[in-house]
Amino acid sequence: MTHPIFRKDIFIGTPFEIRFQAMLRSTLYKRSWHLIVADPGAGKTMGIRELVRTIGSPTILAVVAPKNNEDESALGNQLWSALGLSLRGHWSNRKPKLMGHLHQYGTQCLIVDDAHDLEFQHLLFIKELTDQGRLQYDHPLGLCLVAAGRGDTIPLKETLYQPDPTWLQFRRRLDKLEPFCKIPGHTSEEVREILAALETVYCEVLPQLNLRQWSSSIYTWLTQLALDPTNSGRVTMDNLMTLVTAALEWSYEAKATDVLAEMLEKAASLLVLHRDTLKLIDGAGPSTEAPGPPSTEQGNGSKTEPETKPEREVTQADHDSHNTETVVTAKDQEQTVKPPKCTFPGKVEISLKRFQDGGTQLVECSDCGRTRTLTPLKGLIKFPSHEKRKTTTPNIGKRWAKIGSDWDVVGS
């Protein structure tokens, strides 16, 4: 079985997180504005979440940029909800009050994750909101737009550098010395530091774990072109954790006390060489249980041999034949137990007025006990034809039907 520790989100103070959180803290204390860029999977969201947990909300208010919704209310409602406020009322009535709530709650810094998804209207709303804070409350707000990007690309730069006065004012609010910041991933030495930290985390399940001996190989695998298309020579935390945890999990299932070299190579191959390979998931699909241990020698010294192709074909044919027979048998049984038609003629001799005054339309057949709805038609009341119940009531001569709480003789 897979150990639960491999399914937990573990925060490690990696060199990237130290650099990234230092930039966020600087924004908080200086109330400055920055656009921070890092590679996808570097650990931006994890770092923001840990910083908010450490410092506390709403001192730092962190939201995610709305996707596929360019309305300013999409971002405004996220800020409103992050403060723990109800979204009752129309946005036009709540919008003027938002900055007042930020001032009241002591918010000092706004962080927008996935800022590369921000639309034109969202940026205008941020400018308007912070301008209102300066003018009405003398309350400056720090702003961190955290975006994903590779290489030297700067998301939102084309928008921010438009010649309109609005964007000129927006650029003037950016920090004068560090308006655009790039937080790189991990070097080879930093990968070794992270592996040393992971040894402490996973020593519970692999007591003799020594990951540092593989640091050079892991760094080489994770800086291949498939995982590092810009040739930056840096490793992201997401790729590192994916490779390491997969190898550790497989090693644990193999009852090893240290990571197995073949498991590391297998994980690296799947992550690098077969990253874009289409895998067919057929049959019952992946199992939630861990795969069983490999076959071992039995007491008589023989080994469990794999099935040959002819044996598999015979087994499959027997299986299909068994399934076909089962279906036919079930169908035959269904037809056998199908109840016959009830012989009740269906004529109900009762006055239409009394039937309507009775206040009910559901009656019970005197032959088999089935209940059906009586519907008046052209002055007559007909009991629909029906199948007998499996458990029938004995016929005692006269036919009776229950209408409401009374029994009446019906038919002949």
- Please name the amino acid found at residue 180: F
Output the pLDDT for position 289.
54
Output the pLDDT for position 294.
42
131 vs 158 pLDDT, higher one: 131
Identify the helix (H) or strand (E) that includes residue 199.
helix 188-202
Distance CA 170, CA 163 (A): 11
Q: What is the mean pLDDT of residues 99-109?
A: 96
Candidate from 123-137, 192-206, 343-357 with smallest mean pLDDT: 343-357
Q: What is the mean pLDDT of the chain?
A: 79
Output the pLDDT for position 394.
39
Q: Are 215 and 192 in contact (CB under 8 A)?
A: yes
Q: How many CB atoms lie within 10 A of CB 364?
A: 17
Candidate from 113-127, 270-284, 344-358 with smallest mean pLDDT: 344-358
Closest by CA position to 155, among listed 116, 100, 119? 116
323 vs 8 pLDDT, higher one: 8
Q: Report cis status (omega within 30 of 0) of the bond before 58.
A: yes
Output the pLDDT for position 157.
87
Reported pTM:
0.67
Q: Are 148 and 45 in contact (CB under 8 A)?
A: no
Output the pLDDT for position 10.
81
Collect all residues with Cβ–Cβ distance below 8 Å to 42 and sequence separation of at least 6. 16, 20, 183, 185, 236, 237, 238
Distance CA 272, CA 270 (A): 6
Give residue-wise pLDDT tens across range 277-313: 666 677 777 665 544 444 434 444 433 344 444 444 4
Give residue-wise pLDDT tens across range 319-337: 444 444 334 343 444 444 4
Collect all residues with Cβ–Cβ distance below 8 Å to 396 and sequence separation of at least 6. none
| SS3 category, 170 | helix
347 confidence band (pLDDT: 50, 70, 90): low
Report percent pLDDT > 70 for the chain: 68
Candidate from 71-85, 323-337, 369-383, 386-400 with smallest mean pLDDT: 323-337
When mean pLDDT is compared over 206-210, 294-298, 407-411, the highest value belongs to: 206-210
